[in-house]
Amino acid sequence: MSSNKINIVVAGATGYVGLDLIKILSNHPKAKITNLCAQKNIGKRIQFFDKRIKKKLPKISKLDKVNWNNVSVLFTCLPTGQSQVIIKKLFKYNNLKIIDLAADFRLNAADYKKFYGFNHKSKNLLKSSIYGLSEFVKDKLKKFKIIACPGCYPTSIQLPLIPIIKKNLINKNIVIDSKSGFSGAGKNVKKKFKHKNLYSSIHAYGIQGHRHASEINQAFSKATKSKLNYIFTPHLIPTFRGMLSTIYVEKRKNVTIKKVFNELKRFHRKNYFVKILPINVNLGTENVINTNFCEISVCSTSNKKGLIILSAIDNLIKGAAGQAIQNMNIALGFKENLGLK
C-alpha cells in the first residue's frame, strides 16, 4: 500500500450513511481503510451489508481494537449522542482529524439540549469543532480538529438561501417544503414511521419542530441580523434516496429574478459541487442521485413578487457521506472533488 495514503477508521460502518461512505472511500486514491467498526456483526465482511462494495476491506470489528496512533481520520456515523462520548476519549491523539456525521457537534450546548433532549457530554470540545457545510467554510476546515457535517435538509436549504439572505435580496417570510427518500430515516425507518403503505406513500412529519430546524435557525441567525420567519415541512417519499427542497420566497422591492440568479451564480462560481441551472428550469433529483452535487434553479411564479427556488441533492451523499469526504479532502489539502463524482 502506497505510503502517501491516509489511514481511516469508520465507526458506524453498517448504516446507510456508513455504507455509502465506505463505498466512496474504497475507491478514493488517498484513502486506506484500516478499521470498519460497529457494535454488532463483529467479524462479518462489509459485503454482507452492501454488495456494491467490491474491494476487500477489514472485517467488522469493535472500536477498542483500533491503534489510534496510526490513524489520520475517524468518520463517525453513529446515532446522535454516541460520537461525543467516543470523541472525548480520542481527542488526545494529535494526529487524528474527526469528521462527525451525527448532530453531536453541529450546535451549541443549549440548542443541542433544546432540540435533542439531553445534555452535551463534551461541551468543552465544541470550541474545537466547526459546522462543516463545505461551500461556506473551505478556508477554515484545516484549523479544526472536529468537523461536524450538516444534516441533509439543512444542506439542501442553506446552499440556495444563505447567499441571497446575506445580500438582503428576499423578504423575511420563507416557506420551505422538503422531500426526502426514506433512507434519511435510517435502517429503523419502520420503527420511526408507523403509518401504513410506508414504501408507497408520501408522509409529512416533524411539523411542530424537526430537529434540523435547529441548524436552519443557526444558519439564518449568522447570515442576517434581521428576524426571518420561516415554515419548514419535511416529507418522507417512496424512494430510497434523493432530496428536493422547494423554497418559496418574496423578492425585496426592485430586486429581479435575474439579480437573485446572478448572486447565486457569483457566490457558487468556485463551488465545484453546486450547479446553478438557468432561470425557470424545472428540476428533480434525477441528476444528483449517487453524486455529491447540488442542483439549484430559480423560478418565477404567477405572483410577481414571488420566487420558487428548487434545490436537489442526494441525501446520503451531498447530505452526508459525500460532504464528509469533501470536507476531508479540503481539510487535508487534497483536491476538493478527489474520489467524488
Active-site annotation holds for 152? yes
Which of 268, 318, 310 is CA-nearest to residue 289? 318
DSSP conformation class of 30? T
C-alpha cell at position 323:
460532504
Looking at 37, 149, 152, 299, which residue is catalytic?
A: 152
Query: DSSP assignment of 265-314, as one string?
Result: HHHTTT-TTEEEPPTT----STTTTTSS-EEEEEEE-SSTTEEEEEEEE-
Q: In angstroms, rounded to a whole number, what is the distance separating the alpha carbons of residues 183 and 319?
A: 11
* Residue 17 CB partners (closer than 8 Å, separation 6+): 77, 101, 316, 320, 321
Coil, helix or strand for 83?
helix
Q: What are phi and psi of 15, to 5 degrees?
A: -80, 175
Residue 110 CB-density burial (10 A; 0-12 exposed, 13-18 middle, 19+ buried):
exposed
148: DSSP letter: E
In 3D, which of 112, 103, 36 has the Cα closest to residue 75? 36
Q: How far apart are CA 321 and CA 241, in angstroms?
A: 13
Give catalytic residues, as residue numbers.
Answer: 152
